[in-house]
Structure 1
Amino acid sequence: MTSGPVPVPAGSASADSVPSDPAELREVTTAVLREVLGVPEVLPDDDFFALGGNSLLAVRVAGRLSRVVQRRVPVTAVLDHPSARALADTLSPAPGARIPDTEGDRAAPAVAPHGPAVGTDVRNPLTAAQRRVWLLHAVDPERIDHLVTSSFRITGAFDPAVARTAWTSVVRRHEALRTRFEEDDGETVQIVDPEPLTDFRYLDLTALDEAVAARVVSEQVRLQRGTPLDLVTGPPARVLLLRTAPDTYRLEVVVHHIVCDGWSVAVLFDDFLDAYRATVRGEPEAPPPAHRFSDHVRWEREVESRRWPGMTERVARRFEGRTDHLPLPVDPRDVDEHEDGDDVELPVPPEVSAALAGIGKVTGYTRLTPALAALGILLHRISGTDDVLIAVPVSGRVRPEDEATVGLFVNTALARVRLAGARDVPKLLARVHEEVQEVLDCQTFPFDHLVSRLAPHREAGRMPLVRVSLAVQDFAEPAAPPPGLGFGWEWSDPPERQSKLDLAFSLWGGGAGAAERSLTITYRPSLFRRSTVEAWGEQYLVALGRVCDAARRAETCD
């Protein structure tokens, strides 16, 4: 997946030039699929999933097509019609081939005007996702579960002075990294400073004894990852660079979640490498992107939020008669709340990775569908509950122009896995598939709005409605530095030190490298022992493999 925006055919077309002829629409759908999937050729009947498609890429396809046809194209149109020809047919205005109408689907995806030019002070309200993070931060400013951390081991001819200049360039480029937050007349606003304020620390430890240097590294990294960021004074990011040997460095970057999500990480470090290369060559800084996070804020406030009242009942209906309580077996211990988090990481067996990677081609389901079904089965086995609510992070980047922007776009959706009456895996998968389609189609609907509508029992220190989450991480990881820069790096996502939920399952490695897929479970040590979570992880992978196998057998029999 590329982190930059992909050109949209006829992206600024007027209503008079919207394609309607079947041949034109096939040309458009073919071009969009080719560019989003990053393949040189797409034939009319090539399968989206067989070409590497997933739910995240389906969102990108739907966003581009919405811009071209000047009406909202739901993600389900891409998932249910996974070829250029079928997709063009469903976009055709011919009778019987219309896209299913949902809340706001007929409205053209309007684009907010650009914000003030760089160099001026920008004040904006918060998005729905940012408001939730801000409220949690206001209750406990010392919490560290909203720190997005990235760690790199760098080897080669890396220049700390160039790195500092490159980071400043990245902060100047992305207004999210120049943002502070304050109260203004009872409303929280975000203020984008015109000039970058950076926190970049560099320590050369090569003169120290090896044992002493190791202790310094451990302490500095602990402080870097465990010290909260001040959102009022800024900056919302912090960089630590340690030189541990003549050609070896440790780079630790912390960004607050209120201005950054998982997708943003790849964008951030792609831009860092570009800025590093430009600095080395003496080239000018890249200009700020045409689309900024301020534009997204205005779009949500002025356009997308108008859809939410009409979506409320549609979303809430899925949770009628729900069971809020998930009786997980716990082994309580006293743990400091700011240290109540740890990770268990397990490799996904190659055969399970291969089955999961090919599930779309076999069944037309995204990877989220079998992953969610398997987690429902696991939670049923360990809790005895056959009606399970699971939080699912969704990208929220439904417009093409959002793709190269650093910011908080991700939203928390809620999925319901009902095992009662599902006598076999294919029936359960079909039920979960419908749930996933609803999750993707309503992915901008704020989680807090759903909580307000459902009015569940709340518990201090706990996320309402859910105790468990599942993320299928299909977004790109930071790219490797190009050979010409003279250094290489290895990226890692450090373990969580404070968990937002009781259990958070994450499947990593969405690309073709199936053997590299891994499962991470973030958990609360105050509730579970590590050995217990490891056992659950192993059981989950067994369930996932059996779900994929059952789906394949069912399709073969059909």
Structure 2
Amino acid sequence: MRPPRTHGPSVTPPRGKNSLGPTSLSEKARLTGEFADWNNLVHRAVWITGELDTAAVREAWRRVCRRHDVLRRTYVSADEACTHDDVLSEVEFHTAETDEDAIELMRRFLGTPFSLDGPGFARIAIVQRGERRHLFGIAMDHIITDLISWLRIKADFREFYDRALAGEDGEDGDLAEAGSYQDFASEQRRLFSSAWGEERRAFWSSYTREFGAYPPRFLADAEHTGGYRHAVVTRDLPADARARVHALSRQARVTPFAVVSSGVLAGVREVAGDPTAGISVAHHGRGLPGTSQTAGLFVQTVPLHLGRRSASPLETVRQVSDRTHDVFEYALPLTVAGMSWNETLTAADQEAAGLYVELNEYPRSTYYTPLFTGTGAEYVELSLPGDKIWTETVAVSWNLYETGPQLVADYNANYLPGAAVEELLGAAERFVLSATRI
């Protein structure tokens, strides 16, 4: 396990009041070294076409930061956070002569990693290319956000932009409706030191005794033959794939995610011959009361395993569903929890796992719908220095759009043979789509 990071005092901005409180366990994991080898940025860049009111953008961002206290957060230590009364970032405005210049400027602006000792963890900018064409960009450190938080912040941004356009006076009296991340962190720390925490310790101690402290690699004998070489295997699914997945989920009375995860787990067992196949899954841990609308870092990676017992597809799906409920019910950032309990529940410097599974039932383009009323949006793919590369992980995505459903795997071709990845996808598809016909 990586030793704890030496963390100095935060840089306090020269204005505004502040209050101190405990960090969340996810924040502590990041502050003590988890993912310290990469930039940890969550970022978006979008071409905006149409009439953009830059003053309204600035006011909307100010109000978003006032509504969500996590955007006004800095750190005194791994265990103590500082929530500032005033905003810590403002919208920057730039101009560029060409689209290429605008994109390069935005890449430099967004791509600078945040310092954990720094005065804020969000930056936002607009690069003007013409009266009706702007490049909009935003970056946040993953320590304060995840996908669900981004969607919440995005919705609030649009709401406040519309209200600024309508000429509202910008009073902050209506901003208290979102949950406080500081309240969540305090309650989580309180519970962690109580019987709630002991229940989770008992579960994860038992779980890792049965399956080990980390999901196994997809192929135990895989070897690196060079640097990272990204490869993608795409398998077209039948047009009714989404309907079949949902039919099996209804028959088994489980979630669609449990169905597709079962398929990948069964595929690993078939291809790799592993009797206790394991994958990593993301859990957005808004399990405490009052956190559904709270922005911050809640996502956690937890291991999910298929037991030793062979079963029919229906029984397997139900078994995986039960296990999913367990690991999500007791989910914690396992690195820092293990440090607190003096137990090895996972390794901070190890790959995420041999397999990572996600279910996308809607096109990713829905994440990039226009942010500002009366404008169009075109997403810009930016590759930033320091982006994390999972060299030993196969990321399997079930993309069950209404048209063109696909099963997609991203992997390192200089580590894993493509034939084994293709075999895995074929086995997963057979397990899920052959179990139920509609």
**TM-score, normalising length: structure 1:** 0.64
The answer (yes or no) to whether the contact 1:168–1:196 under 8 Å persists in 2 is: yes
Q: What is the rounded CA distance, in whole Å, between the counterparts of 2:169 and 2:422 in structure 1?
A: 51
* Other structure's SS at 1:552 match: coil
CA distance 1:549–1:347, shift in 2 (3 Å):
closer
Q: What is the rounded CA distance, in whole Å, between the counterparts of 2:381 and 2:242 in structure 1?
A: 20
The answer (yes or no) to whether the contact 1:469–1:501 under 8 Å persists in 2 is: no
Compute the displacement of 1:385 (Å). Answer: 2.4
More contact order relative to length (CA 8 Å, sep ≥ 6): 2
The answer (yes or no) to whether the contact 2:34–2:349 under 8 Å persists in 1 is: no
Compute the displacement of 1:551 (Å). Answer: 3.4
* Other structure's SS at 1:329 match: coil
The answer (yes or no) to whether the contact 2:334–2:346 under 8 Å persists in 1 is: no
Question: Partner letter of residue 472 of structure 1?
Answer: L
Compute the displacement of 1:540 (Å). Answer: 5.0
Partner of 1:181: 75
Q: Is 1:437 aligned to residue 325 of structure 2?
A: yes
Q: What is the rounded CA distance, in whole Å, between the counterparts of 2:45 and 2:247 in structure 1?
A: 31
* Other structure's SS at 2:175 match: coil
Partner of 2:13: none
Partner of 1:80: none
Compute the displacement of 1:153 (Å). Answer: 3.2
Q: Is 1:134 aligned to residue 31 of structure 2?
A: yes
CA distance 1:170–1:252, shift in 2 (3 Å):
same
Q: Which range moved further: 230-239 or 371-380?
A: 371-380
Partner of 1:300: 188
Q: What is the rounded CA distance, in whole Å, between the counterparts of 1:517 and 1:284 in structure 2?
A: 47
Question: Which of 341, 357, 363 pairs up with 1:470?
Answer: 357
Question: Which of 150, 159, 181 pairs up with 2:44?
Answer: 150
In structure 1, list runs of 5 or more residues that go unmatched.
1-118
Question: Which of 405, 412, 426 pairs up with 2:294?
Answer: 405
Question: Partner letter of residue 20 of structure 2?
Answer: R
Partner of 1:203: 94
Partner of 2:59: 165
CA distance 1:454–1:190, shift in 2 (3 Å):
closer
Q: What is the rounded CA distance, in whole Å, between the counterparts of 1:343 and 1:151 in structure 2?
A: 24
Superposed CA offset, 1:349-368 (max 9, x none): 33323322443323211122
Compute the displacement of 1:224 (Å). Answer: 3.9
| Pairwise CA RMSD | 3.6
The answer (yes or no) to whether the contact 1:270–1:479 under 8 Å persists in 2 is: no
The answer (yes or no) to whether the contact 1:373–1:432 under 8 Å persists in 2 is: yes
Question: Which of 265, 271, 280 pairs up with 2:150?
Answer: 265
In structure 2, list runs of 5 or more residues that go unmatched.
1-15
Question: Partner letter of residue 60 of structure 2?
Answer: A
The answer (yes or no) to whether the contact 2:191–2:197 under 8 Å persists in 1 is: no
Question: Partner letter of residue 355 of structure 2?
Answer: V
Q: What is the rounded CA distance, in whole Å, between the counterparts of 1:328 and 1:218 in structure 2?
A: 42
Question: Partner letter of residue 430 of structure 2?
Answer: R
Q: What fraction of aligned residue pairs are identical, expressed as a percent?
A: 18
The answer (yes or no) to whether the contact 1:347–1:519 under 8 Å persists in 2 is: yes
* Other structure's SS at 1:232 match: coil
Q: Is 1:552 aligned to residue 436 of structure 2?
A: yes
The answer (yes or no) to whether the contact 1:507–1:517 under 8 Å persists in 2 is: no
Q: What is the rounded CA distance, in whole Å, between the counterparts of 1:284 and 1:296 in structure 2?
A: 30
Compute the displacement of 1:230 (Å). Answer: 1.9
Q: What is the rounded CA distance, in whole Å, between the counterparts of 2:398 and 2:108 in structure 1?
A: 27
Q: What is the rounded CA distance, in whole Å, between the counterparts of 2:193 and 2:378 in structure 1?
A: 40
Compute the displacement of 1:303 (Å). Answer: 3.2
The answer (yes or no) to whether the contact 1:499–1:524 under 8 Å persists in 2 is: no
Compute the displacement of 1:421 (Å). Answer: 4.0
Q: What is the rounded CA distance, in whole Å, between the counterparts of 1:493 and 1:473 in structure 2?
A: 19
Which structure 2 residues correspond to residues 311-350 of structure 1 after superposition, within 5 A? Answer: 311-322=200-211, 325-326=216-217, 327=220, 329-334=222-227, 344=232, 346=234, 349=237, 350=239
Partner of 1:107: none
CA distance 1:509–1:382, shift in 2 (3 Å):
closer
**TM-score, normalising length: structure 2:** 0.79
Partner of 1:356: 245
Q: Is 1:283 aligned to residue 168 of structure 2?
A: yes
Compute the displacement of 1:277 (Å). Answer: 0.9
Partner of 1:71: none
CA distance 1:247–1:134, shift in 2 (3 Å):
same
CA distance 1:509–1:157, shift in 2 (3 Å):
farther
Superposed CA offset, 1:424-477 (max 9, x none): 43343233222112123223474543586763785x84248x343223368996
Q: What is the rounded CA distance, in whole Å, between the counterparts of 1:348 and 1:175 in structure 2?
A: 44
* Other structure's SS at 2:49 match: strand
Question: Which of 121, 125, 150 pairs up with 1:236?
Answer: 121
Partner of 1:395: 284
Q: What is the rounded CA distance, in whole Å, between the counterparts of 1:297 and 1:328 in structure 2?
A: 42
Q: What is the rounded CA distance, in whole Å, between the counterparts of 2:59 and 2:428 in structure 1?
A: 46
Question: Partner letter of residue 545 of structure 1?
Answer: E
* Other structure's SS at 2:45 match: strand
CA distance 1:370–1:495, shift in 2 (3 Å):
farther
